[in-house]
Amino acid sequence: AQSVAQPEDQVNVAEGNPLTVKCTYSVSGNPYLFWYVQYPNRGLQFLLKYITGDNLVKGSYGFEAEFNKSQTSFHLKKPSALVSDSALYFCAVTTFFDAGNMLTFGGGTRLMVKP
């Protein structure tokens, strides 16, 4: 069985400071990892993915994430947070990339960026 853990329910950061949202995963086989963001009253939106290759992946809105196989982690990062980044962030994993994208999601982390 595969699982995703997001150990922080909420992350608070001041605008302009760097942010990190943590994610660890457990799978049998090679992981395909994703980050999605959910704004209030909006559907989940794709941010970025790791499939293969470079461990540092860049995505939308200046976000990036680093795949660390030895630590089974895929933390989301941004060098300088914006108030508009405040939202709910979900990490997800699958091991069957082309078999339906049946993602297993973490419980989510609420990011609060204060002016």
Partner 1 sequence: DTGVSQDPRHKITKRGQNVTFRCDPISEHNRLYWYRQTLGQGPEFLTYFQNEAQLEKSRLLSDRFSAERPKGSFSTLEIQRTEQGDSAMYLCASSPGTGENTGELFFGEGSRLTVL
Which residues of this chain interact with partner 1, rule CB under 8 A?
Answer: 4, 32, 34, 36, 41-46, 49, 51, 90, 92, 97-98, 100-108
Q: Which two tokens stand for residue 109?
A: 């982390």
Of 3 and 17, which has the nearer Cβ to partner 1? 3
Of 82 and 103, which has the nearer Cβ to partner 1? 103
**Residue written as token pair 């091991």:** 95
Of 7 and 79, which has the nearer Cβ to partner 1? 7
Strands (E), the chain: 3-5, 10-14, 19-21, 24-26, 32-38, 45-50, 56-58, 64-68, 73-78, 87-94, 104-105, 109-114
Report, in Å, the least distance between residue 18 CB and partner 1.
24
Report, in Å, the least distance between residue 108 CB and partner 1.
5
Report, in Å, the least distance between residue 64 CB and partner 1.
17
Query: Residue 112 and residue 115: Cα distance in Å, rounded?
Result: 10
Report, in Å, the least distance between residue 43 CB and partner 1.
4
